[in-house]
Amino acid sequence: MSTSRAVLVVGGGTTGNALAVLLRRAGVAVDLVESKQDWDATAGSGITLQGNALRVLREVGVWDELRTQGYPFDSLGIRAPDGSLLHVGDDLRTGGPELPATLGTDRAQLQRLLIDRVRGAGVEVRLATTITSLQQHPDQVEAAFSDGTGGHYDLVVGADGLHSRTRELIGIPDRPAPTGMDIWRAAVPRPPEVTRTEIVYGGRCCIAGYCPTGQRSMYAYLVERTRDGTNLPRSSYAAEMRSLAEGYGGPWRGIRAALADSAQVNRTRFDHMLIAGPWHRGRVVLAGDAAHCCPPTLAQGAAMSLEDASVLAELLTTRNAWDEPLLAEYQQRRSRRVRPVVEASVQITKKLLAGADGAAIPEIMEPAMSALQEAP
């Protein structure tokens, strides 16, 4: 493959950063544009990364730091609302036997590690910059930027998230849709007894859970039905999360007491999307949340996006022709992997909204997760 090719990556989140590093390492010239000025500031408190996500992060080169800074574990616990432990099971090692089944870490910490790799790889980065137009030519794409500059690229990758400007510019009509659930997340101290993700189905919320993210840290989350027409002030988030946590026992007693700072609480809704048609138009292709998203009920959102970056980088760095068949193959490989995850994640939310208890969840979860043991 010629190393004189140039790629524009739109979006400096997990997907765009991983792809930029993998392409640059192979000698491809990469420009990355990110709409935010504070590139290292990320929303949310923690993130659960399963083995197939860790496999890509090892490929990118951040695994050594991540396993030291985060919290790896290999099991999943199910508790009753009163805190009693109902079940502990081994998690599948979807990244292979040499990686843990799961690792919890801080989102900002992961972003900093990826940013360091992007900078170190020699990627040209523009912050506070967006694309304003994309003009397709037979062998190149001409991009115009919000700062008045532009460039010509052999390929443009839209990794710019749920509300992708790239997706809009190339005329793909698909948009994320709400599932009817919201999630509250907060970083709190980790008590010694919390050594894995543990989940409660039922109680005041549809789901109550937590995941350790370090030796002294974890994040807790509560999933509730979306409240139509409710626009709570940001200053009330901690009090609202404490109220939702009432009645949960076990570690939740300490978690509830630690929910004091609304600035440390994040609230987002569950969305879902999987582009029905092609993920590309000409020489512009989508990856990550710009192409698909799902509720985090399988904790596979980041993993699916990272796998997009890995597969696309593999194809671009091993094929001579960057053409329609290559982009079609990328979508085919990814769609057959992503679709069962999106469908199972949405099905779980529907079951919970219909009042099903936790006993109905494993029969949905296990087939989708078992398939992920194969390489993407």
Tell me, what DSSP letter sits at residue 290? Answer: G
Query: Would 146 be classed as within a structural domain?
Result: yes
Q: Is the pLDDT of residue 332 over 60?
A: yes
**pLDDT value at residue 356:** 86
Does 217 or 42 have the greater pLDDT score? 217
Does 147 or 356 have the greater pLDDT score? 147
pLDDT in tens, 28-63: 999 999 999 988 765 558 999 999 999 999 999 999
What is the distance between the alpha carbons of residues 68 and 284, in angstroms, rounded to a whole number? 37
pTM for this predicted structure:
0.96
pLDDT in tens, 59-114: 999 999 999 999 999 999 999 999 999 999 999 999 999 999 999 999 999 999 99
Q: Is the pLDDT of residue 2 over 50?
A: no
**pLDDT value at residue 44:** 59
Mark residue 265 as left, alpha or beta (left: phi above 0; alpha: psi -120 to 50; beta: remaining). Answer: beta
Neighbours of 233 (CB within 10 A): 8
Query: Would 142 be classed as within a structural domain?
Result: yes
Domain enclosing residue 121, as ranges: 6-41+107-176+272-371
Neighbours of 52 (CB within 10 A): 27
Number of domains, the chain: 1
pLDDT in tens, 233-252: 999 999 999 999 999 999 99
Residue 339's domain is classified under what CATH number?
A: 3.50.50.60
**pLDDT value at residue 41:** 62
**pLDDT value at residue 254:** 96
Query: Would 152 be classed as within a structural domain?
Result: yes
Angle formed at CA 55 by CA 178 and CA 195, multiple of 5 degrees: 75
Query: Would 215 be classed as within a structural domain?
Result: no
Query: Would 125 be classed as within a structural domain?
Result: yes
Query: Would 231 be classed as within a structural domain?
Result: no
pLDDT in tens, 292-310: 999 999 999 999 999 999 9
Query: Would 242 be classed as within a structural domain?
Result: no
Alpha helices (H) along the chain? 14-25, 51-60, 63-69, 107-121, 165-169, 237-244, 252-258, 301-318, 324-353, 362-371
Q: Is the pLDDT of residue 3 over 60?
A: no
Task: Single out the residue of 356, 254, 249 nearest to residue 297, CA to CA.
Answer: 356
What is the distance between the alpha carbons of residues 85 and 252, in angstroms, rounded to a whole number? 13
Query: Would 343 be classed as within a structural domain?
Result: yes
